[in-house]
Amino acid sequence: MARICDIGPRAYSRPCLIKVDGGGASLSVNQSETIQLSRMAGTSPLPVALHSRDPRDAIPCSPGSRMKHRHCLFRLCIAVLACGGADFAWARPPLASDCVEPPQVLFEDLFVAVQSQGLFADGKAFPDAVPLESPGTILEAFRRERPPSPTALRQFVAGHFTLPEEVRAPGITSSPKRITAHIDALWDVLTRSTPTAAACDSLLALPEPYVVPGGRFREVYYWDSYFTMLGLQASHRGDLVHDMVRDFAYLIETYGHVPNGTRTYYLSRSQPPFFFAMLGLLSPEDPPAALSQYLPQLQREYAFWMQGEGQLRAGSAHRRVVALADGAILNRYWDDRDTPRDEAYREDTQLADESHRAAKQLYRDIRAATESGWDFSSRWFSDPHDRSSFDTTEIVPVDLNSLLYGLENAIRAGCLRNKDSACAREFQSRAQRRRRAIDRYLWDATRGAYRDYRFTRRVHTERISGATFYPLFVGAASPEQAAAVAAAGARELLKAGGIVTTPVSTGEQWDAPNGWAPLQWIAVDGLRHYHEMQLAQVIACRWLVNVEQHYRKTGMLLEKYDVLAPGHAGGGGEYPTQQGFGWTNGVTRALLELYPQNENLSDVEDCPKPSGPSARTAN
């Protein structure tokens, strides 16, 4: 049996030939290099996609007795998911253009000149521009003309690219309609359809319509979309929920993972893996139905996150996988590139110049932080007030490992529905091992909270964050742990306008005083799972009043809010606060579906009060 597959985006891929026979399996790369798929005694780790020649990416096979060939083929098929699908027939040409390299690779010194000079106020503008000719033709013209000034360079860009127009969601400055009606009307405003993309456009085409966040965010984003879809469901827009699930399945099939967003410059990283949670929205009365239908994509995404697992030694890490001191496996955020971000090239290079750190490691840590979705936060700094102290790749985060626990359980449920008992046992075991590792490394019994773990120093990070609610969201906490998290959250994170991202004020947008819609939902939904109904209602009410107060003043919904001063926009970060806004619309609409009595409240004093051990200290 042999099939040709293409692994990942062009930046990391080579054609490969997988050969399977009774004696084992091998993978031939470019018909000139053969990587033997190693065979190991006993139960072997799950195989992962081969995106490089690193020997840690080898795919182990179990040669156990009666189940030898079945286990080997099962594990190899998971690896093949990373190369084109469970049936060896998923590989198909992407709908997007053939230029899958990011703009800084395509446009070389032109890109450096434009971004280094800060030609555009928003560093995302030029990477999102559509070239009117091939990159080679444009580069030849640039090197021939050598524009001598910023004005001349801007004119050159205008003559060879179509620059993006800012997308604005309409605001209502007087007599705004009910917020639910406003959100329902915004879905069509924020919906895009891009089944094709222009040649060498950085935009990745998608087969179905999708909802964008709004403002400068003109493309679909991975983790944003789950929270957007919650609102679509509440607005009875199941059509768009199904369309977006199909889009994300397509991305996994085409690129081997869901990228950060649908731009070529996002292909080297993902975002928090919420695809399994999206599937839960398709068949809420029978979750395994959708999990079974999309099981190949779930398995393939899992292979992406676990790449390199099989060859790690205790105390080492590879890409997104970390083997801790006792050999337990957890995950970290990562990016496959170690260069400045296309969309923030000038900011990253300036920081590297000022930091006196090895530039490549700094760039990797910056990019890994963007994979978290928390870009940026003191969570990722060794010194909370020094942005150059990024150490993201040294941290095992609570949220990512909670979601991977959820993904493992989702795969188990899909396998059970498909009557594949071997697969179900495999992923039940994986989920159990991860939960034990979460309890050992991420649970802080003294603080009564889940905290990130800096594995290079074998210590928890210094601060609690809104990520502490994630184990509740996926059911990884015991009832006692959930009660402790509720108390700690009310004591340290609950503010007048909702849950604060972290208690630290740094000027970064994922720190105080900001609150974000997704963290409110994770907290509320997680607390409800453990019957912490009072605190869940308090958080929901305070957040909804915060959003409603600002909406009544401006007619707008924003990406983030100040939870210390309800009714005010959040701030900080690398760009102005955006309006629109996908996940705020989604979470607000979903919370109002749960708590309709809160829609017309205008003062947090009208919200319920916290009860229980934390009531005395909650703000």
CA dihedral 20, 25, 30, 33 (to 10 degrees): -150
Rounded to whole angstroms, how far apart are CA atoms 211 and 553?
Answer: 25
Residue recorded with tokens 């720190």? 511
> Three-state SS for 231?
helix
Are residue 77 and residue 13 in the same domain, yes or no?
yes
CA dihedral 490, 492, 493, 497 (to 10 degrees): 80
- Residue 435 reports pLDDT greater than 80: yes
* pLDDT tens by residue, 328-343: 999 999 999 999 999 9
Stronger pLDDT, 207 or 93, i.e. the higher one? 207
Are residue 110 and residue 60 in the same domain, yes or no?
no
Does residue 73 lie within any of the structural domains? yes
- Structure-block tokens of residue 463: 């601060």
Of the candidates 408, 413, 378, the one whose C-alpha atom is nearest the C-alpha of residue 392 is: 378
- pLDDT tier at 4, thresholds 50, 70, 90: very low
- Residue 99 reports pLDDT greater than 90: no
Cβ atoms within 10 Å, residue 359 = 17
- Residue 383 reports pLDDT greater than 50: yes
Does residue 126 lie within any of the structural domains? yes
- Residue 168's pLDDT is what? 57
- Residue 71 reports pLDDT greater than 50: no
- Residue 88 reports pLDDT greater than 90: no
CB 233 within 8 A of CB 281: yes
Full domain range(s) for residue 74: 2-81
- Residue 77 reports pLDDT greater than 70: no
CB 196 within 8 A of CB 562: no
What are residue 498's DSSP bridge partners?
495
Does residue 41 lie within any of the structural domains? yes
Does residue 48 lie within any of the structural domains? yes
Q: In the predicted model, what is the mean pLDDT of residues 438-448?
A: 98
- Residue 614 reports pLDDT greater than 90: no
Are residue 107 and residue 143 in the same domain, yes or no?
yes
Instruction: Compute the radius of gyration of the chain from its Cα atoms.
Output: 24
CB 505 within 8 A of CB 577: no
> Three-state SS for 382?
coil
Q: In the predicted model, what is the mean pLDDT of residues 567-584?
A: 89
The CA-atom distances, in angstroms, between 351 and each of 104, 357, 359, 611 are: 18, 9, 9, 45
- Structure-block tokens of residue 417: 């529905």
Are residue 65 and residue 11 in the same domain, yes or no?
yes
CB 523 within 8 A of CB 469: yes
Rounded to whole angstroms, how far apart are CA atoms 357 and 217?
Answer: 31
- pLDDT tier at 543, thresholds 50, 70, 90: very high
Does residue 68 lie within any of the structural domains? yes
* pLDDT tens by residue, 278-299: 999 999 999 999 999 999 999 9
| 153: enclosing H helix or E strand | helix 150-160
- Residue 67 reports pLDDT greater than 60: no
Are residue 62 and residue 115 in the same domain, yes or no?
no
259-273, 446-460, 600-614: segment of lowest average pLDDT: 600-614
Does residue 55 lie within any of the structural domains? yes
What are residue 203's DSSP bridge partners?
263
CB 119 within 8 A of CB 154: yes
Does residue 145 lie within any of the structural domains? yes
How many distinct structural domains can be found in the chain? 2
Does residue 155 lie within any of the structural domains? yes
- Residue 256 reports pLDDT greater than 70: yes
Cβ neighbors of 278 (< 8 A, separation 6 or more) are: 225, 226, 229, 241, 244, 245, 248
* pLDDT tens by residue, 460-476: 999 999 999 999 999 99
- Residue 573's pLDDT is what? 81
Stronger pLDDT, 245 or 53, i.e. the higher one? 245
Residue recorded with tokens 């102005």? 576
* pLDDT tens by residue, 364-376: 999 999 999 999 9
Are residue 59 and residue 122 in the same domain, yes or no?
no
Are residue 74 and residue 126 in the same domain, yes or no?
no
Are residue 16 and residue 77 in the same domain, yes or no?
yes
Cβ neighbors of 260 (< 8 A, separation 6 or more) are: 221, 222, 266, 269, 270, 271, 370, 371
Q: Which amino acid is at 516?
A: W
* Residue 279, phi then psi, degrees to nearest 5: -65, -30
Q: DSSP of 196-226, one letter per residue?
A: S--TT-SBPP-SS-EE--BBTB-S-BHHHHH
CB 48 within 8 A of CB 303: yes
CB 165 within 8 A of CB 125: no
Catalytic residue annotation: 375, 559
Q: What's the number of CA atoms in the CB half-sphere (13 Å) around residue 448?
A: 15
Q: What percent of the chain shows pLDDT beyond 90?
A: 77
Rounded to whole angstroms, how far apart are CA atoms 361 and 226?
Answer: 31
Q: DSSP of 425-461, one letter per residue?
A: HHHHHHHHHHHHHHHHHTEETTTTEE--EETTTTEE-
- Residue 336's pLDDT is what? 98
For 531-555, letters b (16+ CB in 10 Å) and e give ebebbbbbbbbbbbbbbbbbbeebb
Are residue 109 and residue 66 in the same domain, yes or no?
no
Rounded to whole angstroms, how far apart are CA atoms 392 and 320?
Answer: 11
What mean pLDDT is reported for the chain? 86
| 388: enclosing H helix or E strand | none
- Structure-block tokens of residue 570: 């959040």
